[in-house]
């Protein structure tokens, strides 16, 4: 059986099934944004790892080495944050092709340090090897979370509000701008920045958890809003009813839909690498959460729907008032692109 037949998440399920039961110190294993280990009764260790491969995750035609370092760290920091955790330490592994310069590697580490210092994270080590071909990067972040702050994909309950921070889809628009001929490239400032140097919602999540106790399931939308919504609904055993009119559409999405084809809504639903946070909470906290995030961070928060007691039933109400099934679409490394 080829990997494209089961896709990335099918492969993860296969691997998880072969690894057996978790030990007594493992709180959360494969299947969430990060692993969680019981380091002591009042504090858990949170661990996340990501890999970036040249011409799969990035191209050097439009990524500087500073951008690569920044984005590699950002992906891991976002995973720790989506568990309710605080990132603390970062390890970096590099496989460098012949011809890579010292200056390029130093620039990559400058990007790593820039975002790490922003969140008081220390780069503590890693490994550097040669690569026979493409540039390969990976990072592992260790963080910590109090047991009461730990948030899982499986934490949603029926009749909770479904919320999203910021504007989903901007990173995908940024990728389109960087890889296609965009006559108005200077217009897409936020989209390009979101793709090259995303800022994970570490501080915002800590703020939410400190002020609001009803936050349930939480996940970052690195694989796209629709895909991640399916993940936490499946793991929580709930359904979802999404309102198309509730999904925030940034003006750059609307412009991109005219320039590159497709719809602004499609960018918002299926675009990945945004590192915005999708979560559930009591609907009654909506206004207070929106006000708090806006006043403290200038960050918009939108309620896009509610969870239901119909597991696996995920629908979106369109502008005509019709309910349609929301497809499980998003980025999958091994999926057949023709499917």
Task: Return the higher-pLDDT residue of 337 and 9.
Answer: 9
Measure the CA–CA gap between 264 and 187, rounded to whole angstroms. Answer: 16
Measure the CA–CA gap between 23 and 37, rounded to whole angstroms. Answer: 10
What does the buried/exposed string (b/e) look like for 282-295 if buried means 16 or more CB atoms within 10 Å of the residue's CB? beebeeebbebbee
Would you state the CATH architecture of domain 32-148?
Answer: 2-Layer Sandwich (3.30)
Q: Packing angle between helix 189-196 and helix 251-260, nearest 10 degrees? A: 90
pLDDT of 182 = 61
Mean pLDDT of the chain: 90
Evaluate if residue 334 carries a pLDDT over 50: no
136-178 tens-digit pLDDT: 999 999 999 999 999 999 999 999 999 999 999 999 999 999 9
pLDDT band at 33 (very low <50, low <70, confident <90, very high): confident
Percent of the chain whose pLDDT exceeds 70: 89
pTM (predicted TM-score): 0.90
Please report, for the chain, the start and end positions of each structural domain, with discontinuous segments joined by +.
Answer: 32-148, 152-325
pLDDT of 72 = 96
Residues 6+ positions from 338 with CB-CB distance below 8 Å = none
Mean pLDDT of 317-328: 90
Mean pLDDT of 74-99: 96
Task: Return the higher-pLDDT residue of 186 and 16.
Answer: 186
34-48, 182-196, 262-276: range with lowest mean pLDDT: 182-196
HSE on the CB side for 59, CA within 13 Å?
8
Name the E strands within the chain. Answer: 26-28, 35-40, 43-53, 86-97, 122-131, 136-145, 161-165, 218-220, 239-243, 277-281, 301-308, 314-317, 323-325
270-315 tens-digit pLDDT: 998 889 999 999 999 999 999 999 999 999 999 999 999 999 899 9
What is the layout of strands, in order, in the sheet containing 35-40?
26-28, 35-40, 43-53, 136-145, 86-97, 122-131
CATH superfamily of 152-325: PurM-like C-terminal domain (3.90.650.10)
Contact criterion met (CB below 8 Å) for 178 and 195: yes
pLDDT band at 237 (very low <50, low <70, confident <90, very high): very high
49-65 tens-digit pLDDT: 999 999 989 999 999 99
pLDDT of 16 = 57
pLDDT band at 329 (very low <50, low <70, confident <90, very high): confident
- CA 82 to chain CA centroid, Å, is 8
């Amino acid at each position: 059986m080829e990997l494209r037949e089961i896709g990335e998440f099918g492969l993860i399920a296969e691997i998880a099934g072969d690894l057996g039961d978790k030990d007594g110190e493992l709180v959360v294993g494969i299947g969430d944004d990060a692993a969680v280990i019981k380091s002591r009764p009042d504090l858990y260790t949170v661990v996340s790892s990501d890999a970036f491969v040249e011409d799969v995750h990035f191209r050097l035609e439009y990524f500087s080495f500073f951008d690569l370092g920044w984005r590699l760290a950002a992906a891991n920091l976002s995973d720790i944050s989506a568990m309710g955790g605080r990132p603390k330490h970062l390890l970096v592994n590099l496989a460098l092709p012949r011809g890579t310069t010292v200056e390029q590697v130093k620039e990559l580490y400058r990007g790593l340090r820039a975002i790490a210092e922003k969140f008081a994270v220390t780069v503590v080590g890693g490994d550097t090897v040669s690569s026979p071909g493409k540039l390969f990067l990976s990072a592992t972040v260790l963080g910590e979370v109090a047991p009461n702050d730990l948030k899982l994909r499986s934490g949603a309950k029926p009749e909770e509000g479904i919320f999203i921070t910021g504007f989903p889809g901007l990173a995908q628009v940024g990728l389109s701008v960087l890889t296609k001929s965009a006559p108005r490239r200077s217009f897409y400032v936020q989209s390009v920045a979101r793709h090259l140097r995303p800022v994970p919602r570490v501080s915002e999540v800590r703020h939410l958890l400190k002020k609001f106790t009803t936050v349930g399931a939480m996940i970052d939308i690195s694989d796209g809003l629709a895909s991640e919504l399916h993940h936490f609904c499946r793991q929580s055993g709930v359904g979802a009813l999404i309102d198309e009119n509730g999904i925030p559409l940034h003006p750059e999405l609307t412009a991109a839909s005219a320039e590159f084809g497709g719809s602004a809504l499609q960018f918002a639903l299926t675009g990945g690498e945004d590192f915005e946070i999708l979560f559930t909470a009591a609907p009654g906290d909506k206004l207070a959460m929106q006000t708090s995030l806006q006043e403290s961070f200038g960050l918009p928060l939108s309620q896009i729907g509610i969870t239901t007691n119909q597991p696996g039933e995920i629908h979106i109400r369109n502008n005509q008032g019709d309910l349609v099934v929301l497809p499980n679409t998003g980025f999958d490394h091994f999926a057949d692109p023709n499917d």
